[in-house]
């Protein structure tokens, strides 16, 4: 009687997909583009603000020259009055990933919106749709109370979500308040339920996490570059539309600050300084989210702790080919 042979591990037949993630100004767009050229990929946006056509400059969307080097999808596809969400983006992203695969191309998702990446890879918790009237009532309450008092009221109604959220994050406070009002259950309880189906892909995530001082410098330099490339004109055109202040596009970094300059409330120097500080804070929050919610190391992860440059390409490409593209 022959001894049993050990079973070979089951081969993962799911199609491959690559995610390039990192905080703002980490170099992820440049890396994603280089990867798309080298690996016959399609770059699919995974950044909430780059979805909006009104924010080409302030969201640092790829320019026409970059877009001519490889296919880019989901950049500038939403009108300013539309409210982006992880669920909306996930559906659009899965469509574009399937299209890329049908064309024989590798889907390469690129962005710093950790919630979007987590929703794609793991699936979404089954949170019900909130009626428009409830959302509008919550927005009215936020306007009446202001951020700090609204946060205090939310904490009293829903201690768990109040503890999770900051008073400086009105969008998520509104979401938590609206879900509680509409369903009688905390958003935390809904999120604790099992997620829906994960995306049917074999993912590898490349995480760019440069040193903090390098990232701070890059954030400051990039906002100055935005000013040189039309950020003031972009904000002026946006404000001229008289859009509701609670829309995501109106909360983009630079809109409030440059709007204050255009309205005469701040000097351009002060507006720039405030926007740069807000950018640095945002990059820090992104890094924290990626570290705690997405993960930086382990199977299916490649962590780069330096600012991306062409000197890293061979190491990165070799690792991706070995880990993701070799069957």
CA distance 184 to 180: 5
How many other C-beta atoms can be found within 10 angstroms of the C-beta atom of residue 88?
A: 14
Residue 115's alpha-carbon distances to 48, 83, 124, 249, 302, in angstroms, are 10, 15, 10, 18, 19
Task: Please state the rounded mean pLDDT for residues 171-189.
Answer: 91
pLDDT at 6 over 80: no
State the Cα–Cα distance between residues 109 and 32, nearest whole angstrom: 8
Residue 4 above 60 pLDDT?
Answer: no
**The predicted structure's pLDDT at residue 132:** 84
User: Token pair for residue 258?
Assistant: 């440059």
pLDDT of 279 over the 70 cut: yes
The band of 161, judged by pLDDT with boundaries at 50, 70 and 90, is very high
Integer Cα distance of 278 and 257 in angstroms: 10
Residue 5 tokens, joined: 């042979």
Is residue 269 annotated as involved in ligand binding?
Answer: no
Average pLDDT over residues 35-51: 96
Is 27 among the annotated ligand-binding positions?
A: yes
Closest CA to 159 of 142, 180, 183, 131: 180
Does residue 8 have a pLDDT over 50? no
Superfamily of domain 16-124+195-323: P-loop containing nucleotide triphosphate hydrolases (3.40.50.300)
pLDDT at 10: 57
Q: According to the model, what pLDDT value does residue 125 have?
A: 73
Mean pLDDT, all residues of the chain: 90
Quick one: average pLDDT of 239-266?
94
Determine if residue 323 is labeled as part of a ligand binding site. no
Q: Confidence band (pLDDT; 50, 70, 90) for 5?
A: very low
Average pLDDT over residues 187-195: 81
The dihedrals phi and psi of 225, each to the nearest 5 degrees, come to -65, -35
CB contact at 8 A, 154 and 148 = no
**For residues 251-261, average pLDDT:** 96
Task: Record the pTM.
Answer: 0.81
Adjacency order of strands within the sheet including 41-45? 72-73, 41-45, 106-111, 16-21, 202-208, 301-304
Per-residue model confidence as pLDDT tens digits over 234-251: 999 999 999 988 788 999
In this structure, what token pair is assigned to residue 148?
Answer: 């700090």
**Helix 268-289, helix 212-228: angle, nearest 10:** 140
Task: For residues 147 and 153, give the distance between their C-alpha atoms in angstroms, rounded to a whole number.
Answer: 10
Domain spanning 132-191: CATH 1.10.20.140: yes
Q: Is 178 annotated as a binding residue?
A: no
Residues 46-99 have pLDDT tens digits of 999 999 999 999 999 999 999 999 999 999 999 999 888 888 899 999 999 999
Domain boundaries, the chain: 16-124+195-323, 132-191
Question: What average pLDDT score do residues 212-224 get?
Answer: 95
Label residue 163 by pLDDT band (50, 70, 90): very high
pLDDT at 297: 72
Would the pLDDT of 21 be above 90? yes
168 is in an annotated binding site: no
Q: Please say if the pLDDT value at position 180 is more than 80.
A: yes
In this prediction, residue 127 carries a pLDDT of: 76
């Amino acid at each position: 009687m022959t001894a049993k042979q050990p079973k070979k591990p089951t081969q993962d037949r799911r199609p491959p997909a690559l995610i390039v993630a990192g905080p703002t100004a980490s170099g992820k767009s440049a890396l994603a583009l280089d990867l798309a050229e080298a690996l016959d990929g399609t770059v699919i946006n995974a950044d909430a603000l780059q979805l909006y056509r009104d924010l080409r400059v302030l969201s640092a969307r790829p320019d026409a020259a970059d877009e001519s080097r490889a296919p880019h999808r989901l950049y500038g596809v939403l009108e300013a009055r539309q409210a982006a969400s992880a669920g909306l983006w996930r559906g659009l992203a899965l469509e574009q990933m399937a299209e890329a695969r049908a064309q024989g191309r590798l889907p390469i998702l690129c962005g710093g919106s950790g919630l979007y990446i987590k929703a794609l890879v793991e699936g979404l918790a089954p949170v019900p749709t909130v009626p428009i009237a409830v959302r509008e009532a919550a927005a009215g309450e936020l306007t009446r109370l202001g951020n700090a008092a609204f946060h205090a009221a939310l904490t009293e109604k829903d201690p768990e979500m109040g503890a999770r959220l900051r008073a400086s994050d009105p969008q998520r406070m509104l979401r938590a308040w609206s879900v509680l009002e509409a369903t009688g259950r905390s958003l935390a309880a809904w999120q604790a339920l099992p997620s829906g189906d994960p995306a049917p892909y074999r993912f590898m995530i490349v995480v760019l996490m440069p040193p903090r001082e390098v990232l701070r410098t890059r954030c400051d330099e990039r906002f100055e570059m935005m000013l040189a490339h039309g950020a003031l004109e972009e904000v002026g055109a946006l404000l001229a539309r008289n859009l509701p202040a609670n829309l995501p596009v109106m909360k983009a970094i630079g809109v409030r600050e440059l709007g204050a300059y255009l309205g005469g409330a701040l000097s351009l120097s002060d507006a720039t300084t405030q926007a740069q500080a807000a950018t640095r804070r945002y990059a820090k929050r992104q890094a924290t989210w990626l570290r705690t919610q997405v993960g930086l190391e382990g199977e299916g992860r490649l962590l780069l702790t330096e600012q991306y440059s062409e000197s890293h390409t061979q190491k990165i490409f070799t690792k991706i080919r070995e880990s993701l593209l070799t069957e």
